Amino acid sequence: MNNKEKEILLKKRYNAEKRFRFFGISSIVIALSFLCILLVNIFTNGLSAFSRTEILLKINFNEKKIRH
């Protein structure tokens, strides 16, 4: 094996390592982004349920109109 062949082999191995890193990082990013989409979706949909809307009504508590 001469020097040139060795260099090509080394480059191949480095390239394989780079590819492996890229796939690993991208799979983590994809998984995290799915988690983010899920959480954002649930929280944007659900947070409004923690408030309720009320109306302030003037009530006349007339004792004759409160039936027993």
Partner 1 sequence: MKKKLGINSSSTDKEIKQANFDEVLQEALLSLAPNAPELKQAELIDLVSIDATIELKKFYLKNKDVLNKTAEVALTLSDDIDQVHKGNFPRDIPEDRRRFSDFQLKIYDEQIAKKKIISEFNWPFIFNADSREPEIAGVGASLMGSFFTLIVCLLLSFPLGILAAIYLEEFAPKNKITEIIEVNVNNLAAVPSIVFGLLGLGVFLNYFYLPRSTPLVGGIVLALMTLPRIIIPCRAALKAVPPSIREGALALGASKVQTVMHNVVPLAMPGTLSGTIIGLSQALGETAPLLLIGMVAFINVVPSTPLDPSAVLPVQVYLWSESAERGFVEKTSATIIILIFFLAIMNSFAIYLRNKFEKKWS
Residues at the contact surface with partner 1, assessed by CB under 8 A:
41-43, 45-68
- Compare residues 2 and 46 and give the one whose CB is closer to partner 1: 46
Whole-number Å distance between alpha carbons of 62 and 38:
52
* Shortest Cβ 24–partner 1 spacing (Å): 24
Considering the complex, state which of residue 1 and residue 55 has its C-beta at the smaller distance from partner 1: 55
Distance CA 7, CA 67 (A): 98
In the complex, the smallest distance separating the C-beta of residue 52 from partner 1, rounded to whole angstroms, is 4
Which of 5/63 has CB closer to partner 1? 63
Which value, to the nearest 10 degrees, does the dihedral of the CA atoms of residues 27, 30, 31, 34 take? Answer: -170
d(CA 26, CA 18): 12
